[in-house]
Amino acid sequence: MSGGEPRVEPLLERLFAPVEPPADLATRIQSRLRSVSAQAAEELDGWELAAMRDPRNWARPAAAVLAGGAAGAGLVLLGLHQRHRARARRASG
């Protein structure tokens, strides 16, 4: 290598340096997941059982069930992750 060429290692170290997420990221994710879950519940609440006899009407409730279930699972996982991190902080400090 000649003296004028850039070195790859320092560039890669800067490129892959760890980045801390914003402090309020978990709170924002939780509020969005709660919003999706609430909207899915409202969507399902508005459907009548008689309308479910026609399979053409199944798409929206099915999507609401999937979205609500995914949001609920995300909330559970996020809560478990936060508890685990809190326990690890208490144990180390």
Helix (H) and strand (E) counts in the chain: 3, 0
88 within domain boundaries: yes
- Show the domain range for 55: 25-92
In a domain, 6, yes or no: no
pLDDT at 71: 94
All residue ranges of the chain with pLDDT < 70 are 1-5
- The verdict on residue 57 lying in a domain is yes
Q: What per-residue confidence (pLDDT) applies to 35? A: 95
**How many domains does the chain divide into?**
1
58 occurs within a structural domain = yes
